[in-house]
Amino acid sequence: MHIADSIRRVHSNTNHLKSRFASAEPVPMLVLDNFLDASTAHKLSTESQDLVPELWTQFTRRGSYMDECKKLEHAPVLRHAVEQLNSSTMLNWLSDVTGIQGLLPDPHVTGAGYSRSYQGDTLQVHNDFNWNEQLRLHRCLSMIIYITPDWQHAWGGSLDFYNQDQSQIVTSVPTLFNRMLLWQYTPWAYHGYTQPIACPETQSRRTLRLFYYVSNSTHNPDDPPHRSQYWFDAQSGRAYDKREHK
C-alpha cells in the first residue's frame, strides 16, 4: 500500500482530527503517533543515519545547529516518501484535517528533507520563513515526522511552542519515534528547544520535514477562467467555449 493511502486509511477520522487541529494552542496544530507504517518509518530512520557526510549541509543560526539533507537523488527512501507526502491523496487528507483549501507541495524540498541534531545541540526560539521565493508561494503548514527509534524523553529535543511575547511555553511536543507534528504558519508560531540535547554521542535527533503552501493569486481580468476553447469567432478574433458563447 502506498504511504499516502496508508495514512488516509489509518487516520481516517478527519472530522475529529480537524477539531483537534483547530482547537490547539498556541497555534492550530495536530500531533499523531504511529503516523507512517512501521516499515517506512524504520527505513527512513536507517537511511537518515547512513547517508554519507558529503550529502549534508549545516544549519547554524544564533547558536542553533542541525545537519540537513534534501538530496533526493541519493536518498531513495526519502524520495519516495516526499513523493507520497506531496501527492494529491496526501494534500486532500491535509485539507480535510486542517480545513485549508488549495494546498500546494514543494517538489524542491526548500528548507526541508532530513535533519539531524546531536548531543549539545539546540534550536533557538524562532518563527519560520513565510515565503518560498522559488515557488513564489506563501508557507501555510509545517510537518515534522520524528524518525529516531527509542528516543528517550530525558534526552530532550521536545519542540516547545511559546506564547506571542515568548515569555512562556504553551505546548511542548516530545520527540517520539514515528510521531507526526503538523502546525499552521502564523506570524507568532514561535518554537524551538533551548536546552541542549543530552542524547549519547552515538545517537541523533532525526526528522523528516516537509512544508506546504498556498497561493493568493487571482485570475487575470483580461483573460478570465474558462474551459478549453474549441470554437473561434472570426469577427472578434477570439476563441471561445461554445456553451458560453452568445
Question: pTM to 2 decimals?
Answer: 0.93
Please give the tally of structural domains in the chain.
Answer: 1
Q: Which three cell numbers stand for residue 188?
A: 507568532
Q: Give domain status of residue 233, yes or no.
A: no
The reported pLDDT for the residue numbered 128 is: 96
- The domain in which residue 174 lies consists of 3-217
Q: Give domain status of residue 158, yes or no.
A: yes
What is the chain's mean pLDDT, rounded? 95
Q: What is the pLDDT of residues 44-79, one digit of tens each?
A: 999 999 999 999 999 999 999 999 999 999 999 999
Q: Give domain status of residue 114, yes or no.
A: yes
The reported pLDDT for the residue numbered 182 is: 98
Q: Give domain status of residue 241, yes or no.
A: no
The CATH number for 198's domain is 2.60.120.620
Q: Give domain status of residue 139, yes or no.
A: yes
Q: Give domain status of residue 222, yes or no.
A: no
Of 22-31, 98-107, 215-224, give the lowest mean pLDDT range.
Answer: 215-224
Q: Is the pLDDT of residue 244 over 90?
A: no
The reported pLDDT for the residue numbered 245 is: 60
Provide mean pLDDT across the span 203-220.
94
Q: Give domain status of residue 227, yes or no.
A: no
Strands (E) in the chain, as ranges, are: 29-32, 57-61, 64-69, 113-117, 123-126, 131-132, 137-146, 159-162, 169-173, 180-184, 191-193, 205-214, 231-233, 238-240
Q: Give domain status of residue 66, yes or no.
A: yes
